[in-house]
Amino acid sequence: MLEIPAPKLMHSPAPTFWRRLAPLAALLLSLVGAAGAANTMDRIDLPQARFSTGDNMAWREPDFDDSGWKLLNTTQAYEGQGYEGYDGYSWYRIHVVIPSALKLSTDWPERLRVYLSAIDDADETYLNGVRIGATGRMPSDPLGYETRWDSPRDYAVDLRSGLVRWDRDNVIAVRVYDGGGGGGFYKDMPYLAMPHRVDGLQLDAGQARYHFLADGRVQARLDLRNNYPVLQRGVLQTEVFDLVSGRVLESGKRSITIAAEKSLDLQWIWPARPGIQVRYRFVDARSGRIATATHDLPYRLTPPDAPTPALHGAQLLGMRPGTPLHYRIAATGRLPLHFSAQGLPEGLKLNPLSGVISGTTPAAGSYKVQLQVRNALGSTKRVWTLVAGEQLALTPPMGWNSWNAYGLNVTDELVRKAAQFLIDKGLAAKGWNSVNIDDGWEAPERRADGEMMGNARFPDMKALGDFLHERGLHFGIYSSPGATTCGGYLGSLGHEFQDAASYARWGVDYLKYDLCSYAANMSKTPTLDEHRKPYQLMGEAISRQPRSMVYSLCQYGEQQVWTWGASVGGVAWRMTGDIADNWNSVLETGFSQAPHTRFVAPGRWNDPDMLVVGQLGWGDKLRPSRLTPDEQYSHISLWSLLAAPLLLGNDLPNLDEFTLSLLTNHEVIAINQDALGKAAQRVLNQDDWQVWVKELEGGAKAVGIFNMGSSFRSTRIESNRMGLENRFQLRDAWRQKDLGLQSKHISVNLPAHGVMLFVVK
Ligand code: GLA
């Protein structure tokens, strides 16, 4: 499967950000030769390969005659190079002369690195007939097929094996299985290289763990791993740099030794405030080679919750009359909390201890309910309006989705854990109340009567729905209008009404419907009608169910879906291809939304895709988001200003303190959930500054000022450029702090890709 629609849908605008991404290795570790040497002898690119569909183990042999095979590029899927729509087995054969001079480029000539970028979906790789690596699993595997479409294939050959034929032709034969969507090599340039000893040191500052101390500093722990079977010895220097003042605050140096394939646990205590950067530099004692890494330190802005009771979350809930309702009141305060409600319509009851409202939605109408929460320290009240009618999602959907963490390896257990963590970590108390299973839950085949079921990892969908509802959480699911989903699982084609009925029986509250393989059912340049048709059909199918099911369209913004999504019953629609955790992707999915924000209204949400903060992995090894802390503040601020659906995609059991603080700021969330339901307009985009202004209910405005540049800078924005009065009250939403009466302008001093988010009255 693929993470962007382009290769699946040949007609869609081709997002190119993947091609701009540096290989993973370059992100983790930047190496500088002792003499600054970098020449072509360091690396041999593998831009082309011979290709054939089918499967034959004889094709791994170096002497097999592949001269009749077609020559393909290795940075583009084979779909798109003449093999449209082909799924199944295929082979690539790369011929390469490996010069013995390559050995001179390293201080440790014991390994040949075979970097094959990523392969859609699974591969087995052979060098001169001998297997050197495999990623994912073929369907014939006893454990069953497993896609690892986005994993880097970074294989190593031990040179003592004698496998490499120096200065002669070598054949790298790659057996591929594609389970659906695009296929084969598709990402960065594959290459051969000889690593240096120091390459074995995983100086990956992004993997550090942080614990915030009461004195405003942060404790950093870094597990420095040596991946090679040789001793690493050298000096590690750290320099703490303040980007605001341009000064080095402290520097340290220590000699380190790490045994073969072992790690060293390093700890420091550093300042935690905007603009603090740590620069690491390791000098190998024997070769003098240097490894460096730079990391922006996280800092928390969200103040801790008060111990007195407080009510949070959306002030409106839209439900269809007569349908089942489960709703968890979002509230904080020292436990135990006690809930009560005045004016709750008949048919609904409130559990005073959990704050879960459940029952049946009353007849059409608007019901104002006075919610109250109290604890030993006091009590507070707020009006919450239940709007019984046909319009759902009166405020942007909020919750968690399995995709960005678990990809196609999601399980019932992981989903339940995520739900429990939403509650236990205090996220549900701020309004994060949906739990959505993305792709990967579907059985490999329908029952004889055509019924869809969960696969072995989802033994009982109804029980899972009940588990979520008991906790007042909403249950979301995923399908595709095509024969298969993006991940190659079964789609709903021809079974739309049957599937909608199953979802209703299981208690589903939310459906994400993902175009993917339906492209095969449309013409090459599909018309608007062709795009609407499958969405209209499923929209009708779910509207006939006795439930309130939120319908989220995922067709990557084709045919200006924001202009017609609501007419097929949709309440949210993806605007672009898939998000990734890098700044370019945030630019392409989020900041690109400026022309379309005027289409946003209650129940009509433009969806720039799910959040990429916290531990992510898309089904691969989990690792922290690659956005810097400032980029993460900007990401959450922008999504709040855009009134975008807020769907977490991270591994919740591994929630770190920084991410938790990022996601529990109720003043920032309130901007997103504001009842007026407007999205911000971009009012300024100049000199690498952007200003976005969102109208809020009651006349206030939310203003986001973003530093799009790559250095710490300051600016002053005149109030008339933001549509503000000459004099205004300013509040810093992240710090939850009044800044008092201002006149004529707002001044900011911001890190690269950083933000200030204000509420202006
Ligand atoms: C597409 C969607 C993603 C995710 C995957 C599942 O790529 O855009 O959000 O749902 O499919 O396969």
Quote the CA–CA distance of 497 and 278 in Å, as a whole number. Answer: 56
For 102, counting Cβ atoms within 10 Å of its Cβ (0-12 exposed, 13-18 middle, 19+ buried), the class is: buried
pLDDT at 195 over 50: yes
Q: What is the CATH number of the domain that holds 78?
A: 2.60.120.260
Identify whether residues 285 and 402 lie together within a single domain.
no
Quote the CA–CA distance of 705 and 640 in Å, as a whole number. Answer: 13
**From the CA of 514, how far away is ligand 1's center (Å)?**
7
Identify whether residues 502 and 522 lie together within a single domain.
yes
Tokens of 739: 């800044």
Quote the CA–CA distance of 678 and 662 in Å, as a whole number. Answer: 22
**From the CA of 479, how far away is ligand 1's center (Å)?**
10
Q: Atom 1 of ligand 1 has which residue's CA nearest to it? A: 486
Q: Which of 404, 438, 515 has most ligand 1 atoms within 8 Å of CB, for mutation?
A: 438
Measured from the CA of 485, which atom of ligand 1 is nearest?
Answer: 12
Q: What is the CATH number of the domain that holds 215?
A: 2.60.40.2360
Q: Which of 147, 554, 561, 573 has most ligand 1 atoms within 8 Å of CB, for mutation?
A: 554
pLDDT, residue 62, reads 97
- Does residue 12 fall inside a structural domain? no
Q: Atom 8 of ligand 1 has which residue's CA nearest to it? A: 578
- Does residue 183 fall inside a structural domain? yes
> What percent of the chain stands above pLDDT 90?
89
- Does residue 100 fall inside a structural domain? yes
**From the CA of 516, how far away is ligand 1's center (Å)?**
8
pLDDT, residue 15, reads 27
Q: What is the CATH number of the domain that holds 324?
A: 2.60.40.10
Q: Reduced to 3 states, what is the DSSP secondary structure of residue 332? A: strand
Q: Which of residues 679, 709, 727 is at a domain's end? A: 679
**Running DSSP on this structure, what letter comes out for residue 306?**
P
Tokens of 14: 């081709």
pLDDT band at 389; cut points 50, 70, 90: very high
pLDDT digits (tens, 9 = 90+) for 443-490: 989 999 999 999 999 999 999 999 999 999 999 999 999 999 988 899
Identify whether residues 108 and 163 lie together within a single domain.
yes
**Rounded mean pLDDT of 632-650?**
98
- Does residue 5 fall inside a structural domain? no
Identify whether residues 483 and 618 lie together within a single domain.
yes
**Rounded mean pLDDT of 400-415?**
96
Measured from the CA of 5, which atom of ligand 1 is nearest?
Answer: 7
- Does residue 164 fall inside a structural domain? yes
- Does residue 26 fall inside a structural domain? no
Quote the CA–CA distance of 296 and 189 in Å, as a whole number. Answer: 28
- Does residue 22 fall inside a structural domain? no
Mean pLDDT of the chain: 93
Q: In this structure, how many other beta carbons lie within 10 angstroms of the beta carbon of residue 495?
A: 18
**From the CA of 48, how far away is ligand 1's center (Å)?**
29
Identify whether residues 36 and 184 lie together within a single domain.
yes
pLDDT digits (tens, 9 = 90+) for 149-192: 889 999 999 999 999 999 999 999 999 999 877 899 999 999 99
Q: Which of residues 194, 226, 260 is at a domain's end? A: 194
Q: What is the CATH number of the domain that holds 724?
A: 2.60.40.1180
Measured from the CA of 487, which atom of ligand 1 is nearest?
Answer: 12
Q: Atom 7 of ligand 1 has which residue's CA nearest to it? A: 3
Identify whether residues 675 and 686 lie together within a single domain.
no
Where are the strands (E) in 618-744, listed by range? Answer: 623-624, 646-648, 681-686, 689-695, 701-707, 713-718, 727-732, 737-743
Packing angle of the helix pair 528-543, 496-506 (nearest 10 deg): 40
pLDDT, residue 671, reads 98
**Rounded mean pLDDT of 339-363?**
98
pLDDT at 252 over 70: yes
Residues in the ligand 1 pocket, defined by CB under 6 Å: 1, 3, 403, 438-439, 485-487, 514, 554, 578
| SS3 of 462-517 | HHHHHHHHHCCCEEEEEECCCCECCCCCECCCCCHHHHHHHHHHHCCCEEEEECHH
Sheet containing 737-743: which strands, arranged edge to edge? Answer: 681-686, 689-695, 701-707, 755-760, 727-732, 737-743
- Count up the domains in the chain and report the number: 5
**Active-site residue among 578, 609, 656, 674?**
578
Tokens of 29: 């570790």
Compare 16 and 612 and report the one with higher pLDDT: 612
pLDDT digits (tens, 9 = 90+) for 658-696: 999 999 999 999 999 999 999 999 999 999 999 999 999
pLDDT digits (tens, 9 = 90+) for 581-631: 999 999 999 999 999 999 999 999 999 999 999 999 998 889 999 999 999
Identify whether residues 582 and 656 lie together within a single domain.
yes
Q: Which domain holds residue 365?
A: 310-388
Measured from the CA of 486, which atom of ligand 1 is nearest?
Answer: 12
Identify whether residues 287 and 176 lie together within a single domain.
no
pLDDT, residue 524, reads 87
**Rounded mean pLDDT of 352-357?**
98
Nearest to 147 by CA among 469, 487, 438: 487
**Active-site residue among 87, 178, 514, 607?**
514
Q: Which of residues 239, 264, 296 is at a domain's end? A: 296
**Rounded mean pLDDT of 328-337?**
98
pLDDT band at 3; cut points 50, 70, 90: very low
Q: What is the CATH number of the domain that holds 620?
A: 3.20.20.70
- Residue 116 near residue 134 (C-beta atoms within 8 A): no
Identify whether residues 98 and 219 lie together within a single domain.
no
- Residue 482 near residue 515 (C-beta atoms within 8 A): yes
Identify whether residues 743 and 654 lie together within a single domain.
no
Nearest to 510 by CA among 353, 402, 377, 406: 402
pLDDT band at 531; cut points 50, 70, 90: very high
Q: Is 578 a catalytic residue?
A: yes
pLDDT, residue 714, reads 96
Identify whether residues 627 and 504 lie together within a single domain.
yes
Q: Which of 149, 514, 515, 576 has most ligand 1 atoms within 8 Å of CB, for mutation?
A: 514
Q: Reduced to 3 states, what is the DSSP secondary structure of residue 384? A: strand
pLDDT, residue 126, reads 98
Identify whether residues 423 and 529 lie together within a single domain.
yes
- Does residue 18 fall inside a structural domain? no
pLDDT at 30 over 80: no
**Rounded mean pLDDT of 17-29?**
27
